[in-house]
Chain A
Amino acid sequence: MTVILAAAAAFVFACGTYLLLQRELTRIVIGLALLAHGANLFILLGAGRRGNPTFIGDDPSADYLDPLPQAFVLTAIVITFGVTTFLLGLSYRSWVLTRDDEVQDDLEDRRVAKRTTPTEVEVDLAEVGAALDAEHQREAEHHNEAGPDEWETP
C-alpha cells in the first residue's frame, strides 16, 4: 500500500511540475496546488502503515499510526489554501490589467539587454526573434478564437 501512495505522490509531483512550467497563469496556479498536495501525500507516508488507527483503545502493544504527520499536513493544507486563494486573486488581477492569461515579460530586463551594440550574430538573432514574434502573433490570434465568450469578460 505504501508503494501505491508513494507512486501517487510522485505522479502528483510530476503533474504539478509540468503545469508549473507552462506560460498560462491558471495552469501555474493549479500546478502549484498540485505540488503542495504531492508534498502532503508524501508526509503522510512517514506516518506508518496505512489503515492503522491513531489513538484508539488503551492497548500499548497495538500498532498505532503516528498522528504528528497528520497535524503537519493539516497545517500545510491551511497554508496552501490561503496562498492559492491569493494567487488566484493575483492572476485575476493580471487578467483584468492585461486581458491575457500569460506570464508577462520583464521590460526593464529587455531594455538592459538591448543596450549592447548589436554584432552580426545578434542581428541574426534579432531576425530569428522577429520571425518567432510573428509566429507567436499568429498563435495568439488562433488562441483568441478559442477564447472566453463575451459574457465571461469582466
Chain B
Amino acid sequence: MNALVAAPIVLPIAGAALSIVIGRSRAAQRLLGVAVLVAVAGCAIALLIEVDSNGPAVVQAGDWPAPIGITLMVDRLAAIMLVLGSLMLLGVLVYAIGQGRVDGEEHRHVGFHPVYLVLSAGVAGAFLTGDLFNLFVSFEVMLTASYVLLTLGGRRSQVRAGMTYVVISLVASALFLTTIGFVYASTGTVNLAQLSTAMSELPDGLRHALALLLLGVFGIKAAVFPLFFWLPDSYPTAPTAVTAVFAGLLTKVGVYAIIRTQTLLVDPADRPAGLLLTIAGLTMAVGVLGAIAQSDMKRILSFHIVSQIGYMIFGLALFTVAGLAGAILYIVHHIVVKTTLFLIGGLVEHRAGSSDLDRVGGLLRTAPVLAITFLFTALSLAGIPPLSGFAAKFALVDAGIASSAWIVVGVSIVVSVLTLFSMTKIWAGVFGGEIDRDRDEPRPMPALMLGPTIALAGTAIAIALAAGPLYDLSERTAEDLLDADRYRLEVLGS
C-alpha cells in the first residue's frame, strides 16, 4: 500500500533519470516513457479502488509521525485527479510520439521525454501531498518542467509566450512562498491536517488574510478572473501535445489546490462563498466572451479553459455536498474533453497546415472521422444532452438552484449557449465550407495521433454513460471534503 502511494511520484522521477541515460536511442526513450506512465496509471486506478472502498491511505515518509515527517495522503479527490491525470498524460504521450514520427522537431528533442516524465511527477506530487510546503515544491517541479516543454522549440513566438508564462508563474511562486512564511510564522506548522485546527485558532483578521492569500496564489495558477491574462497568451504557442496536457491538467492542479485549501484550511464559518461566486460568474462570462472574439482554433479553446474554470469555482463556492460533487464531476469531464479538443486542434493543424479559421476549411469532406470526433467533444463541452458536459452542468445548476444562487446559475446557462456558439464557429470555419484548392495536398493523419484522440473522445462518451455512478463517487468525495475532522483523524491519528 505504501509503495503504491509513492509510486506515482517516484516512478516518473526514476524514469526521467533513466531516460536521460538512454537518450541516444529515441525508440528506447519512447518505450520507457509509455511504460512508466502505464505503470503510474495502473497504480492510480488501484489507489482509487482501494481508497473508495477502504478509506484514505496515508504514508508518513521515513515513518516520522505526522507533524514532523512529510505526509502523503490519498483521499478520493486526490485519487480521482491522479487517475485522470495519468490517463491524460499517457494518451498525450502516445500522440506526441505519433507526431514526432511525422513532423515537429520538438517532439523528437532529446529532452522531451525526461522533462515530460518530470512534469507528471510534479502533477502527482501536487495531488498526493499533505503538506503546504511540499505542495509548493510539487508546483515548482511541475512548472519548471512546463517552462522547458513550452519553449523546447526555441521559436520566436515560443520565447515571447514562454517569457510571459515564466514571469507570471514566478510571481505567483514568490507570493506562495511569502504565504507559506506567513502561515508558518503564525501557526508553526505546514502540515495541512494540523493547519486545519491551527488556522481556526488565529485572530479573525489574520485568518481572513491567509485564506485570501491562498486563494490569490492558486487563483493565478488556476487562471480565474481577474488573474487569467497569461493563459490564452501562452498556451497556443506550445507544441500541440504540450498544449493539450497544459490545457487539460495544469490549471486543474490549481483548481485542486483551491478546493483543498478552501475546504480544509478555511474555517466553515468564514468561507468566502460570496467572493467565490462573484469570481466564478465573472470567470465564466469573461472567458467565453474572449473566446468569441478570437479566430484561431487553439486560441478559442484556450479562452474556453478560463470560462470553464468558472464552473468549477461555482461548484466550490456553494460549499454544499451537491455543489462540490458537481464541481468534481465537472473537473472529470473537463479534463478529458479539453485535452481531446486540443489534440483535435493539433490534428487539424497537422492536416491543413494551420489552425486559423480563415485559412482552413472543408475538413468534413477530407477528414470525416476527425470531424465526427470533434462534433461529439465540442457538443459535450457546450453541455448538450446526453453528453458528459450535460451531466456535469446539470449537477452544478441543480446544486446552484438548491442554494438559490440565481444570478450565477443564469450566467452559467447563458455561457453554455455562448460556448455552443463559438464551437459552431470552429465547426463552420474548420470542418464546413469549401476545400481550399490552393493549399498543399492534405497530409494523412498517422494512426498514433488519431488513435489516442479517438480513445480520449471515447472516454468522454464513457463518462456520459457512467454519469450516475460517477456522480455517486463525486458525492462521496464531496462529503469527505466537507468533513475536515475526518482528514485530521486519518493523518494525525487523533
A residues neighboring B (CB under 8 Å): 16, 20, 25, 28, 32, 35-36, 38-40, 42-43, 45-46, 66, 68-69, 72, 75-76, 79, 82-83, 86-87, 90-91, 93-94, 97-98, 103-104, 106, 108-109, 112, 115
B455 interfacial by beta-carbon distance below 8 Å:
no
Convert B116-157 into 0s and 1s, putting 1 for each residue whose CB lies closer than 8 angstroms to a CB of A.
000000000000000001000100100010011001001010
Could you tell me the distance in whole angstroms from the C-beta of A65 to the nearest C-beta in chain B?
Answer: 13
CA distance A69 to B178 in the complex (A): 12
Cβ contacts under 8 Å, A86 to chain B: 144, 147-148, 166
Of the candidates B156, B184, B295, the one whose C-beta lies within 8 Å of that of A97 is B156
Partner of B167, one of A20, A42, A98, A109: A20
Bound-complex Cα distance A24 to B330 (A): 41
Assess the A38–B140 pair: CB atoms within 8 A. no
Segment touching A, from B25-33, B169-177, B332-340, B369-377: B169-177
Contact of B159 with A46 in the complex, beta carbons under 8 Å: no
Contacts of B159 in A (CB 8 A): 90, 93-94, 97
Min CB–CB distance B71 → chain A (angstroms) = 15
Other A-B pairs beyond A46-B185, A106-B160, A112-B294, 7, CB < 8 Å: A28-B167, A35-B171, A79-B144, A83-B140, A90-B151, A108-B299, A112-B295
| Cβ of B296 under 8 Å from chain A | yes
CB distance from A138 to the nearest CB of B (A): 24
Is B87 at the interface (CB under 8 A from chain A)?
Answer: no
Cβ 8 A contact of B133, one of A66, A72, A91, A94: A72
A114 to chain B, nearest CB (A): 12
In the complex, which residues of chain A have a beta carbon less than 8 angstroms from the beta carbon of B185?
Answer: 43, 45-46
Task: Tell whether A83 pairs with B170 under 8 Å between CB atoms, given A93-B154, A112-B294.
Answer: yes
Q: A45-B185, A72-B184, A109-B233 are in contact. Are A90 and B166 (CB under 8 A)?
A: yes
B163: A residues at CB distance < 8 A: 25, 90-91, 94, 103-104
User: Which residues of B approach A to under 8 Å, CB–CB?
Assistant: 133, 137, 140, 144, 147-148, 151, 154, 156, 159-164, 166-167, 170-171, 173-175, 177-178, 180-181, 184-185, 188, 233, 236, 293-296, 299
> Which residue, B133, B164, B167, B299, has most C-beta atoms of chain A within 10 A?
B167
Q: Contact check: which of B147, B162, B177 meets A43 at CB < 8 Å? A: B177
Q: Is the CB of B295 within 8 A of A94?
A: no
B156 touches A98 (CB 8 A): yes
With contact pairs A45-B181, A72-B133 given, residues A38 and B174 touching in the complex (Cβ less than 8 Å): yes
Question: Is the Cβ of A112 less than 8 Å from the Cβ of B293?
Answer: yes
> Is A42 a contact of B181 with CB atoms below 8 Å?
yes
Query: How far in angstroms is the closest Cβ of chain B from A106?
Result: 6
Please indicate the chain B residues that have their CB under 8 angstroms from the CB of A98 in the complex.
Answer: 156
Q: List 27 A-B contacts (CB under 8 A).
A: A16-B174, A20-B167, A20-B171, A25-B163, A32-B167, A32-B170, A36-B173, A38-B178, A39-B178, A42-B177, A43-B177, A43-B185, A46-B184, A68-B184, A69-B181, A72-B177, A72-B184, A79-B173, A83-B147, A90-B147, A90-B151, A93-B151, A98-B156, A104-B163, A106-B161, A108-B236, A112-B294
**A32 to B177 Cα, complex, angstroms:** 13
Given A25-B163, A109-B233, are A43 and B181 also a contact pair (CB < 8 Å)?
yes
With a CB–CB cut-off of 8 A, which chain B residues contact A38? 174, 178
A residues less than 8 Å from B175 (CB atoms): 39
Name A45's closest neighbour in chain B (CB-CB): B185
Contacts of A91 in B (CB 8 A): 163
Q: How far is the CA of A76 from the CA of B173 in the complex (A)?
A: 10
B233, A106: Cβ atoms closer than 8 Å? yes
**Do A94 and B181 contact each other (CB < 8 Å), given the known contacts A20-B171, A36-B170, A72-B133?**
no
On whether the beta carbons of A43 and B151 are closer than 8 Å, the reply is no
List chain B residues, Cβ under 8 A from A87.
Answer: 166-167, 170
